[in-house]
Structure 1
Amino acid sequence: MLALPLFSILLFSLSTSINGLSIDLDLVHRDSPLSPSYNSSSSFTDLTRNVRLRSLTRSKRLILQTDILQPVIIQGQGITLGEYLVKIHIGSPPLETWAIADSGSDLIWVQCLPCHTCYPQNSPIFNPSTSSTYKIVSCHSKACAFFPKGYYGGCGNSKQCRYQYGYGAGTTSGDLGRDMFSFGGNDDKGSLLLFGCGRDNTGVFSSKSSGIVGLGAGPLSLVSQLGSEIGYIFSYCLVPYFSNYTGKLKLGKEAKISRSHRAVSSTPFITGGATNSNYLITLEGVTVGNKTVKTSPKREGNTIIDSGGTWFFMEPRFYTKVEALIKESIGVEEVKNASDLFKLCYSNKHDESIINKFPDLVVHFKGGADLHLKSDPNLLFPQDDLICLAIIPQEDDGSGILFDYGNVLQVNFQVEYDLEAKKISFAPATCSKLN
């Protein structure tokens, strides 16, 4: 049976050093007994099918009409909400709750009372009126100006800054506020952070979490707000799905990959997307066996990399060439039209043969970041009685982003984001053993 990538809950362990704040998080599967959405009756088949169904919420950027602001662009190419959760404490006294951790968006937000429209969550909904440290943010403040003008922030009929964000899985709107957030429990002094107090929240936020903690490059993200305290650096390392071990997400000095690691490589990133918070890197080609398919050298930032995306989405013509090389190497008859998502699948009765025959596959990013992927767990995904290629064709949505490098491809790599140096580094790792 194939191991699967970890879609996880993040459990915080926080410490402060003389060099600044250091946050060390354990990564645990979202469907584990530790999860607020844990369902003990779900079978292995149920879980793998649910991963596929959640990934179908992947949305192109759309225009959404609203009655409180001007048209809003939906966040996140490749976003699959509800895969990673983080335990946070908000307010004074602190309320413990869970939120989705998402490197593909920037806003931190939670559902708030009074809530006009809320989806189910397993912890109490935050009530800002009970927090002695909660402060409203004026619509004329510098903080409100962090929202791209005309899209996300504004006054509406109130003097308080209002927002509306959309995702592939749903939307949230409400008030921008400021309150204490802590990540290590009641003993942590915490940090005053800007966040969205969501009064109207709809969609398929299937993790039953309270909201989202954005890790993107925009000014409202957790990474940007903690800023110099963590050196503008974070990293994560994902273990295979259903592993009995934990992976890691780190912010601060300890997030850096040791430069003594012989296989570490880096690629520059640029920012983009509706809030300029997405991390965009440049895919130069993919080598299958001894043959390389190259991208157009003129397309800088053609790939979004994101902990929220799942699969490797490719521009269709590029995908067709890569798929042909893989099929040629495997030489086993595929099952056609097997899924509404996967395009290349095989009967799982051939799984050992296919894993053994699967060609060496190397992804080439600008700057010499050559990532050697393994068929299991990076490239093959179980689905019912099939095993399917975790690479999928996807039409360009007009944004110029032709590829989406999801978290399945990042399993057992430590991935470091350095926002000041504007680079992302990779190192192969046994993530279950990363300290």
Structure 2
Amino acid sequence: MARLSYINSILKNPKHVADDIHGVAMSSDNGGYLMEISIGTPPVKQLAFADTGSDLIWTQCSPCHKCFKQESPIFDPKKSSTFKVLSVSKCTYNTSYGDTSYSNGELASETITVGKTSLHKIAYGCGHNNQFTAFSKMSAGIVGLGGGSLSLVGQISNSIDNMFSHCLAFHDFSKPPDKNLTSKISFGKHAVVSGPGVVKIPLVPQYPATFYYIKLISLRVGDTEISASSFFFKDGVNLIVDSGTTLTLLPNHVYYKLEAAVKRQTPDKQVKNSEYKVCYKNRKNFKAPRMTAHFSGGVDLEMAQNATFFAANKDVICLGFVPGGFTGIWGNLLQMDYLIGFDLLNGEVSFKRTDCGLYQGPS
């Protein structure tokens, strides 16, 4: 009878149950992008950072022993008829992030609603002790969109044909978020990126499965070609495509050559800034050198000036790259105003220049 119950639960969730998740709105906040989901039965709306660089789906939960402030009510699992801890003896989780944020609590099975689609028996972290360094009063937690089995993508992979896409609207970080500009995320057949101007970059399989890696062969800054190869990186470096990181981190041997080329080819005089390394006066006629990234598969991706430089405040504009030691991360500044599709079955990620503030999602 237990086996019958298990099989019936699968039959109640047909293969394409998630095919209708498309054009779901996201909003820019504090250097990241917030995605609206609902948790439990009855559904409780929550905003959480959409993060392609992590797996677990979690929000703050009562009782909250240590929690950060959030504007929406904290989710109370006792009021949900579909909340179920994943073990009789309580299955706990403890997850941490590179910026010292963390969450720990109970790992449970719960109904998660995205758009108009309810996804049943999703592994969900009910966080009782949480710290969020990327502080946002709007956020209740994180929606992990990485490649691991516990992410939202991993848990509904068969339902979405292992595909999802997002279009992150441009945001000037020196100003409050424009509430009229919404970003979009879609799953399954609606996530296909096609048409003129699509650039397809191979994904590099690597451990852990969480991260989506693309291989950078070289960077062109104006008239200077910078190889990403070195003694440690024979044929280029792997960069993680991460919606949860704002700036782009380059391995040191690439970054410092990029910095030197930018300084040499930017006529403006540098200004000092306490937070960022290479900054100039923010003026309308500021002209940065053209930058193009060359990836494996013979693919070139030209970067827009408002992505390679960003307004740190109304007076100063700064280079959107920083040294990452041995680590490389393609941050969300360089993802803004691109429709980006992840095709995990065919192992590729597609980029298409799009005005994401106007993009309404697939028809």
Same fold flag (TM > 0.5): yes
Alignment check: 8 A CA contact 1:175 1:198 kept: yes
Map of 1:427 onto structure 2 = 352
Equivalent pairs, count: 334
Map of 2:264 onto structure 1 = 328
Deviations 1:36-95 (A, max 9, x none): xxxxxxxxxxxxxx75xxxxxxxxxxxxxxxxxxxxxxxxxxxxxxx2222211111222
Deviations 1:69-128 (A, max 9, x none): xxxxxxxxxxxxxx2222211111222222221111000112222222222222222222
- TM, length-normalised to structure 2: 0.85
Deviations 1:197-223 (A, max 9, x none): 112112435223222110000101011
| Alpha-carbon separation, structure 2, partners of 1:373 and 1:119 | 36
| Alpha-carbon separation, structure 2, partners of 1:136 and 1:19 | 24
| Alpha-carbon separation, structure 2, partners of 1:27 and 1:108 | 16
Deviations 1:144-175 (A, max 9, x none): xxxxxxxxxxxxxxx22111001224211111
Matched, 1:265 2:200: yes
Map of 1:339 onto structure 2 = 274
By how many angstroms is 1:269 displaced? 2.8
| Alpha-carbon separation, structure 2, partners of 1:160 and 1:282 | 41
Deviations 1:241-278 (A, max 9, x none): 155433321111111101x32443322232445xx311
Map of 1:290 onto structure 2 = 223
By how many angstroms is 1:292 displaced? 1.0
Matched, 1:89 2:16: no
Map of 1:130 onto structure 2 = 79
Matched, 1:251 2:196: no
Alignment check: 8 A CA contact 1:412 1:431 kept: yes
Kindly report structure 1 stretches of 4+ aligned residues shifted beyond 4 Å. Answer: 16-19
The residue type equivalent to 2:87 in the other structure is S
| Alpha-carbon separation, structure 2, partners of 1:317 and 1:278 | 22
By how many angstroms is 1:189 displaced? 4.2
List gaps (5 residues or longer) in structure 1: 1-15, 31-49, 52-82, 140-158
Matched, 1:369 2:299: yes
List gaps (5 residues or longer) in structure 2: 1-14, 172-176
SS in 1 for 2:159: helix
Map of 1:22 onto structure 2 = 21
Say what the alpha-carbon RMSD is for the aligned residues. Answer: 2.3
| Alpha-carbon separation, structure 2, partners of 1:205 and 1:389 | 20
Identical-pair percentage: 35
The residue type equivalent to 1:325 in the other structure is A
How do 1:345-360 and structure 2 match up within 5 A?
Answer: 345-348=279-282, 351-355=283-287, 358-360=288-290
- TM, length-normalised to structure 1: 0.71
| Alpha-carbon separation, structure 1, partners of 2:286 and 2:294 | 23
| Alpha-carbon separation, structure 1, partners of 2:77 and 2:268 | 59
SS in 1 for 2:280: strand
How do 1:36-115 and structure 2 match up within 5 A?
Answer: 83-115=32-64
| Alpha-carbon separation, structure 2, partners of 1:411 and 1:28 | 12
Alignment check: 8 A CA contact 2:242 2:330 kept: yes
